[in-house]
Chain A
């Protein structure tokens, strides 16, 4: 792939990922990751202090699948929807086929009664690889700007 094609494929990965969540196709969420892929949401200040515990920590796509199944069948929460705004994508490194990708995000959350609020904003540091020509997350690290979550967090970012 040319540089331009690589970049476009990574942009598409981030866009497809955001649409899958925003469209409530959560069952597709784990499929954006490699078989050893990991997913973490951690507040900026925890990350800065070298703490490892944050808001979510999935060490495998199986754990992501379990989370989605829990949301569908076990957990109780008020229906709500996200809208991801993804910005400022930069490919900052490529080492042995692993692309390090920075992006900014904002998630606007709409509750069923109509309340709309900026729910979270922050920076994603993604490690992206290509498998059979498809871009996948080997690691998605969501560093949220605030350590305060309004009420609860269900859907991934």
Chain B
């Protein structure tokens, strides 16, 4: 039987136009949950550092399914669906916690081992030989569902799929070095928050991959004439474009000179920063990368903007809403001065970010603009109609087309490759 998704017509050549309907249709949303988030995709769940000791846990979502990441007695991290097998109650009510012996459902006191195995059922044998569970109730069949989970560079992911490639291969050779470069150190969470946005999750993920808009929508740096001399930059794509990196490499010496000149002129001119310590930075990466935005399909982002490091997860919250979860990061080895720079640079990103606040609002405008015309489509032809890596990072929408390759591969059963 054809589903709502199967009836959608993709105009153009595959991924060079996106039907508006895909941003609003509740049936498509439900099918995405099954075919992507419970399909072959790996979903980011949290950082290993968030659960340092056995019994530590932190909740999150895979798609719209609540999950809990918990470190077991053996030191391994388990990702469990956060739901009691009995009546479906949330087991972990707190967002996070420490040092649990077991996971206990508060509703009827069923308890689970840290790997999700059902440990005890209150009044299982009844009271005074009355009531209780039937004799053939098999405890071993009623654990909390444990998802397949793996870590890379301290990032914990989970998948429903037994046949998806390993996380290592899923991220892939093109993408792994940047993940390791940005977060593969002794990282420290220096702040978290979220942005609840009135748009479909895919509009945000398109925006993250949309290098075309960056200098056109985000005017902070241009307005204050904060020079960003780039020697090199471009876009890297994984196989078929599921994941992407958009990056710039600074012309180090010239950039430092320019930066010093910017600071000197700062107070002379209305359009100079009154307090240029906002843009203080240091050469953290020997490769000279000044900016790298990386997305891992379907909804995960690794960010380096100068010394502002973060990971973001865009959770679907129904067809017309999403929640962007932020983990702002530093490293355990940061000096106090470096830490202060990261804190100041945090003003550039997030819901109040001077550089990027527009990203929170533009998706909602597209949502409002497209809602009434479900049979029409966007245009995604900048830089061609296919998915090829690009040396140009500004006048191309190739990374967005890559997202739709991943999306269509999952939705149309071609994933696994």
Contact = CB atoms under 8 A, between A and B. Distances in A.
A63 interface: yes
B363 to A, nearest CB: 9
Given A73-B223, A74-B220, A149-B195, A53 B343 contact: yes
A95 interface: no
B323 A56 contact: no
Nearest to B328: A53
B275 interface: yes
B223 A51 contact: no
Interface string A56-75: 11111011011101100111
Interface residues of A, number: 36
Contacts of A62: 273-275
Instruction: Give the interface SS of chain B, mostly helix, strand, loop or mixed.
Output: mixed
A66 B391 CA distance: 34
Interface residues of B, number: 42
B354 interface: yes
Interface string B272-315: 01110110000000000000000000000000000000000000
Contacts of A149: 193-196, 351-352
Given A41-B352, A66-B273, A54 B193 contact: yes
Contacts of B193: 43, 46, 54-55, 147-149
Contact of A154 (B323, B344, B352, B364): B352
B361 interface: yes
Contacts of A131: none
Given A57-B344, A70-B223, A75-B220, A153 B191 contact: no
Contacts of B190: 51-53
Contact of A153 (B278, B328, B352): B352
Contacts of A78: 361, 365
Contacts of A74: 219-220, 222-224, 354
Contacts of A60: 274-275, 277
Contact of B357 (A46, A52, A58, A77): A77
B352 A147 contact: no
A42 B224 CA distance: 26
B332 interface: no
B303 to A, nearest CB: 13
A77 B277 CA distance: 25
A152 B193 CA distance: 12
A58 B347 contact: yes
Contacts of B343: 52-53, 57
B219 A76 contact: yes
A51 B328 CA distance: 10
A50 to B, nearest CB: 10
A147 B219 CA distance: 26
A150 interface: yes
23 contacts: A42-B191, A43-B192, A43-B193, A53-B343, A55-B193, A55-B350, A56-B347, A59-B277, A60-B274, A62-B274, A63-B275, A69-B270, A70-B223, A74-B220, A74-B222, A75-B219, A75-B220, A148-B193, A148-B196, A149-B193, A149-B195, A150-B195, A151-B364
Interface of B: 95, 189-198, 217, 219-220, 222-224, 270-271, 273-275, 277-278, 323, 328, 339, 342-344, 346-347, 350-352, 354, 357-358, 360-361, 364-365
Interface of A: 41-43, 45-46, 51-60, 62-63, 65-67, 69-70, 73-78, 147-154
Given A65-B275, A149-B193, A149-B351, 15 more contacts: A55-B351, A57-B343, A59-B277, A63-B277, A66-B275, A67-B347, A67-B354, A69-B271, A70-B220, A70-B223, A76-B219, A149-B352, A151-B196, A151-B361, A152-B352
